[in-house]
Structure 1
Amino acid sequence: MAALYEGYTLCGLVPSQTLSNSGIRGIEAERDSDHVVVTDTTRSVTLFKVSDQKPLSSWTVKQGQTLTCSAVYNTQTKEYVAVSDSKVIRIWKEEDILLDKAFKATVSSDVWRVHSVPGVEPVVLFQRGAVRLLDSLLSAPQQPIEEVLAQEEAIRWSTNIVAESQQFVIFTTEQKGDNFLYLQRLNPNTLQRYRLEREEPGLSPLSFSASYRDKHICLLYLYPNGHVYQSLVSVRGLGTDEGAQALPMPRNLLLGLPVGEGLLDAASALVLDEAHVAVVGVPHPSAGAGKDFLCIWNTNFQTLQAGKEMAGKIYGQLWTYSNKLFIPHGKTLSVIPYECPKSSLASALGKLKQAKTEESKAPVSVPSWNNILHGEKAQPSRAVDTRKTRANRKTQSAPSLTTDQVLELIKTAPVEEVQKEVEGLLSRADIQDVQSSVGQLASTLVARSLADPAFYTPSTLAQLVHTQSLCHSVCPDLVLLALERKDYFLCQLCLQFFPDIPEAVTCACLKAFISMPDVDAEKVSLEPDSVSFMETLIAREHGQDGLQNGFSPTSFDEDCPDALVTKTRAEEKEKSSSPPEQLCPVGLHKAVLLNEVLLTAYSDTFLLPHLKDLSSQHVVLFLQYLQFLYLKYSQDASSQMHGFRSPSLTQIMDWVCLLLDAHFTVLVMTPEAKGLLLNLHSFVKSQVRLVSELGKIEGSLQELSKMKVKKDVGQYSIEVIELF
């Protein structure tokens, strides 16, 4: 099922004074998947490295001049192309500092946009519909430009696509309430005009998106009433008569999105693949009338796959490059990574089996979550299955409740009746819009649980989370409710299945886990695979001595000060020659919960402020646990691959660095943390040394790959290779 992951800020915005637009004219891909060019609506072009969240270069036109189309990157010449004041084409390289000193050419007609696709020559689309290749235009900038559009016809949107080894410029126009699509093929030049079917009177498309699939150009467009249509145009057999009458364009309705009260005014729909569409500015079905959401819909099965609330005003702008969505909202341009697995009915309904999930032995349509985890070993699993089987038998004879009826029932009915009806609803195969229904059920259950301390349905909430149709944005109070009720099993499920948990909630879970007494933690029922991993890790004896993961006890002397080395050697003489067994500083179940925190996605910028709320005692304990994991991994490299829910060595080291950054001053002044800091210092040095050695190996392999292999080699030869 599609997912939206934790996003991060690329840059701040300066919206217009009327807040009608974001201040961004366009975002274009640059040299690779990690670089984009952002053009604002006034004077500046900025090159960003996305992963580093920082600008690499910026260029600005003079005061009084305005950039009238977004800058693009020409992959053939490694140059940037933009247009100022509608007629001045500017071309420059990354090392150029001043745009005014770069190449400029004034053309004879107003330019609408410059389009560029990797590997082909950029094209210029003029406001009156004419198209020119950039090089041919620059060879004679003042060449006459023909008018393709009618007098009152204006371009609304454009793009270009390479298909069947040919380049197409696609643009839509509007004339007196009618909308048209133009398909301009280059080399040979052919132009075809299509008329879009009219929607309700006075409604024009808010956004367009185009893609190439199965020898057809697929046009996707969203209307203010929430209707998303798709039209297909074959790239073969395009007409050559430019003056021909506009052909009718058939369409089919892909989605009917909820619009709430009134019509949409700032929304956009963007094609992600053949089965998924990203939508921004449309109300979330289970979150009320707010339009500040980014969602991914599955068009094959009409289901909402993922949703994320965006803070601040939505401007109806959305771009996608390299599985990342770029969305301006409020005063921020955010990058939201996403994933769209291959569409199937099982994934759309949230019933795709996960790895290492045991099949339920009871013949029921939707197995219990507890039974999946614990099988026949745990008595509660059989009890839940028995109750569920009875509910299924009852629903076969008694009339089934609709989703709306169950939602009303949740507000007043007792716990047992609520659990029975919700489980019965989820077990039915005819339930419509599973994503929306699960979100509404979870939100209603959480709302009543928060209002009524006597009401709580842990097994039902766990079952809803297990459908994988929930995320934190859909039900933001679920994790906090689980922490309030000390339902740590539900907390563990949310940390595992929710891809968008905010850093503040992650730190709240960490604080609750680390402060929980070990005696209470051992009473909690947790996911067996993660418990099995920790049991094996704690029980494992010391492996063979040697350097693993860049660290070994024998290298400890090289990293520590002389005084500590002397003390360590003295202690070793008093003790046996074999090092003592490393003890886990926390209990088994607390360690399992801490591992879930280590595995949760985060952004350093947003996580650090919340980490500072931890007490020094909890920070020292957490660092001791991270040290324990590191030592176990250094003794046996297979430790980090043993369990399904096991943190990696990189995650462990990242959290060590985060905690030291957040509490370094306090830790330096804490006496009991002195030895711990020295040990952690040695760990970091060992990792640096490991990376350095790996770099040398990489350099050696690169040199070997550059060497030319002799073709004529006898049956016996001796060859000496000198690397350095």
Structure 2
Amino acid sequence: MAALCGSFTLRGPGPGGGPGQGQGQGQGQELGLEPGPGPDLVLLTERGRNATLFKISDQKPLGCWSVKHGQVLTCPVVCNWETHEYVAVHDDRVLRIWKNEDINLDKAFKATLSADVHRVHSLPQAGPVVLFRAGAVRTLDVLLEAPQQEIESVISDEAIRWSAAFMESQQPVVIFTTEKDGAFFVYVQKPKQESVHKYRLEPQELSKPLSFTACLKNQTVTLLCLCSNDCVYKVLIPLQEDTEEEEQTLPRSLLLNLSVSGSVLKGTSLVVLDKDHVAVLGTLSAPGKDPKECLTIWNTKFQTLQTSKELPLGTSGQFWCYEEKFFLTHGKVLTVIMYKCETSSLAAAVGKLKDRQTPAVSSCVNWNTLEDEELRVSLQSQESAALKAESRMSLRSRRSSVAEVQPESLSVGQHSLNLQEAPTTVLESELRKLMAKAQTPDLQATIGSLVSALANRSKSNPRFYPKDVLLQLVETRDLSYSLCPDLMPLALEKKDLYLLQLCLQRFPDIPEETTYACLEAFLSISEAHLRSTEVDLDSVICYIDVQLKNKGVKTEVVENGFGAELNQDMCDAEMPKQTHSKSDGESCPVGPQRAALLNAILHSAYSETFLLPHLKNLPAQQAILFLRYLYYLYVKCSEKVNTTLPGVRSPTITQVMDWMCLLLDAHFTVMVILPEAKELLSNLHKFVRAQVRFYSELNKIEGSLRELQRLNHLRDSQSYSIEVLEII
């Protein structure tokens, strides 16, 4: 079974960065996408001049390289996993090799080859291999020994349509297909053995191959062909040595028919996911309906469509697959779509597959999509039949039997129904019994469902709100937002700030919309209400009351034992005027309760793409107040050498800076226009500028010390000497 799990944008409209961004607007601007030098990294090569290294989980580029104006990258950039170098070819024959620290490609290694290159393929255990347009193959190390070596012609009047490289018996194998006058051929080359085998694909009337993909197993290559007749064919290519020089014709067999319920998928490209699943990108056409582009996953064993995702903004017709993620152009953005494939069997298809080991329950699963029977506690077969009969009892009968049925024999649905009308005392007693049980995956799901049941009951009955019970469940159990999605909206409605703070600290999967709602509530609530509210102050109690006694100069004892004075030049930005404190010098712009709540916001997980639209709706005065608090934290973090604040769950300087950038991005125009924000922005600018100068000087000192260390290694240190080092 297969499913598409979610999607996000890896790169926004237009090329990913660097000079020369004017080329390649719109669809089809990607020349290729290859794995990066490590996990969670990919290399994107754009049509034109740019190559960008992306960290997928952060959705941000780590580096971007561009060739000079007038030069054009002619094949995708790959990574040499043995040396962690990048290999590119521009203008068909010019080979470039560089590392992460290299910025200017014009100064990187350069070699001009004697023939045009079609593609460079990277292999994890053998280094890159180079496929030339004439069909010859060379490993990169052999090619670098003599870049101008003569390249033989393997194909004649044929155009290469597709190529791939594999490792077989610790030897690289390159496979590529060619076309000539409507006929298609397959070449298999082993460059280290200098062997070449040519095959002809079996022709078929009214059908032409549009896309190829392949996998290697047991010395046999399985080549899949997506054809114009909306079918996928399979071709088996043996890799064992064959002394016959006569050109063989490879038969092809029908693997998959891309039609379901009268709809036909006009595929443009495909990839192999595992032995039973393939993914196809194309246009789904149905009689009487407008065609729509879709990404689909098909089960080749049962000839069924497993899942599909509509792409209304259109695609470039090509996509890539790495680490259980699809990469494709959707409209003008590069989109990542995650997927998962499970064991393909008839038992799995009908839901009767039993794993040998019970998997642990993920804390981020949306349990609302599961039926109560799926979450029922495991019982003996004779007890399960009795429970099914009991689940059909009337509500009145079920209430009367609560005392007779033990909690461990109840399903999630039965627990929820019992809690709808149970008194508070009975409710607390039943929950104590339930929580006393040993930790099991079913118990975790049960508690999440019960929390949702309590939240729903509180919404229907405003006088019912078991605050202590909910706090105890959140504090003692590793719940998540997906397990009880109704809890935080209820806490927002009841203005239960302590419960919201706990949820923000403990839930790993809070949606950005809910995070923003909590932020707006924390900033809008009055100080009088906050002072009378119970809030966990562990994250602020160690630094919130630290104030300066002398205005203009502050002295702190830092970790190296010396007193550090920040003069007017280093920190000439005075803190904005505060509303709640009349003391001179720096003080927190918010009270300790509000600061503790805002710290919980800073610790929550978020995606910048989804949070930014909500953050733009934050009122201007609240945005300025939040920015003042972030500025206060930024100054406090910078006072210490290790840039960390004391206390439990205190914000880090990285979290503070990320939220500060988010807030400025969302309210840039407002911050520039409002008079009360100008002094704050000016102070922030001065402080950041002073820090940049400070760290620049530290980098100079670091460079000097490294040079001295290098000289000391070269010097004979047998004689005793005393040296005085003066750094100006």
Q: Note the C-alpha offset of 1:621.
A: 1.9
- Give yes or no for the alignment of 1:588 onto 2:593: yes
1:124 Cα deviation after fit: 1.3
Counterpart for residue 616 of structure 1:
620
Pairwise CA distance, 1:241: 4.5
Q: Deviations over 1:583-629 (max 9, x none)?
A: 5614526633553246434448x766654433232123212322443
* Mapped pair 1:546 → 2:531: no
Q: Percent identity?
A: 28
**Structure-2 separation of matches of 1:83 and 1:547:** 60
After superposition, give the CA deviation of every residue in 1:97-129 in whole Å (9 maximum; x if it has no partner).
Answer: 9xxxx979777xxx87443559846421669x7
State the partner residue of 1:159: 164
Cα deviation, 1:551-599, whole Å, max 9, x if unaligned, reads: 999425335769x89x99xxxxx98xxx778456145266335532464
Q: Deviations over 1:359-390 (max 9, x none)?
A: xxxxx999xxxxxxxxxxxxxxxxxxx99x95
Give a deviation string over 1:255-300, Cα, whole Å, max 9, x none: xxxx9996764786677xx99x997979xxxxxxx997899xxxxx
Higher strand share: 2
Structure 1 residues 689 and 83, CA gap change in structure 2 (3 angstroms): closer
* CA apart distance, 1:678: 5.9
Work out the CA distance in 2 between the residues paired with 1:693 and 1:547. Answer: 22
Which protein has greater RCO, CA pairs closer than 8 Å, 6+ apart?
Answer: 1
Give 1:72 shift: 3.9
Which of 381, 389, 394 matches 2:410? 394
- The answer to whether the 8 Å contact 1:5/1:336 transfers is yes
Which one-letter code corresponds to 1:169 in the other structure? Answer: V
Deviation of residue 22 (structure 1)? 4.1
Superposed CA offset, 1:482-501 (max 9, x none): 76776774797478655695
CA contact (8 A) 2:7 2:336 kept: no
**Displacement of 1:187:** 0.9
Contact 1:12 1:331 (C-alpha < 8 Å) held by counterparts:
yes
CA RMSD across the alignment: 7.5
Question: Does residue 350 in structure 1 map to residue 362 in structure 2?
Answer: yes
Paired residue for 1:124? 131
Q: Distance in 2 between matches of 1:324 and 1:694?
A: 41
Judged with a 3 Å threshold, the aligned counterparts in structure 2 of structure 1 residues 210 and 501 are, in CA distance, closer, same or farther, namely farther
Match of 1:26 in 2: 32
Cα offset, 1:702, TM superposition = 3.1
Aligned 1:404-553 pairs, distance under 5 A: 416=420, 489=499, 493=503, 497=507, 501=511, 507-517=516-526, 531=536, 533-534=538-539, 536-537=541-542, 545-546=555-556
What's the secondary structure of 2:538's corresponding residue?
helix
Secondary structure in 1 aligned to 2:627? Answer: helix
Out of 77, 81, 84, the residue aligned to residue 89 of structure 2 is 81
Task: State the TM-score, normalized to the length of structure 1.
Answer: 0.54
Return the alpha-carbon distance in structure 2 between the equivalents of residues 481 and 260 of structure 1: 43
Q: Which residue of 2 aligns with 1:186?
A: 191
How much does 1:710 deviate? 4.2
* Code of the aligned partner of 1:393: S
TM-score (normalised: structure 2): 0.54
**1:709 to 2:709 alignment:** no
Equivalent position SS for 1:546: strand
| Partner in structure 2 of residue 301 of structure 1 | none
Determine if contact 2:185/2:200 at 8 Å carries over to the other structure. yes
**SS of aligned partner of 1:596:** helix
**Residue type of the partner of 2:555?**
D
Q: Is the 8 A contact 1:640 1:648 kept in 2?
A: yes
**1:189 and 1:612, CA in 2 relative to 1: closer, same or farther beyond 3 A?**
same
The CA deviation string for residues 313-354 of structure 1, in whole angstroms up to 9 with x for no partner, is 456744478999743212212468999xxxx978864269xx
* Amino acid aligned to 1:688: V
Aligned to 2:50: 46
Which secondary structure state, in structure 1, belongs to the residue aligned with residue 713 of structure 2?
coil
Where do 1:302-381 residues align within 5 Å? Answer: 312-313=313-314, 317-319=318-320, 326-334=327-335, 349-350=361-362
Indicate whether 1:649 and 2:653 are aligned.
yes
Structure whose alpha-carbon radius of gyration is higher: 2
Partner of 2:688: 684
Q: Which amino acid aligns with 1:697?
A: I
Per-residue CA deviation, residues 677-697 of structure 1 (Å, 9 max, x unaligned), is: 565455424532442243123
> Per-residue CA shift, 1:465-494, capped at 9, x if unaligned?
96669599xx9x998787677677479747
- Any idea what SS the aligned residue of 1:123 has? strand
Residues 139 and 580 of structure 1: CA distance in aligned 2, closer, same or farther (over 3 Å)? closer
Gaps of 5+ in 1: 197-201, 254-258, 283-289, 296-303, 353-363, 367-385, 569-573
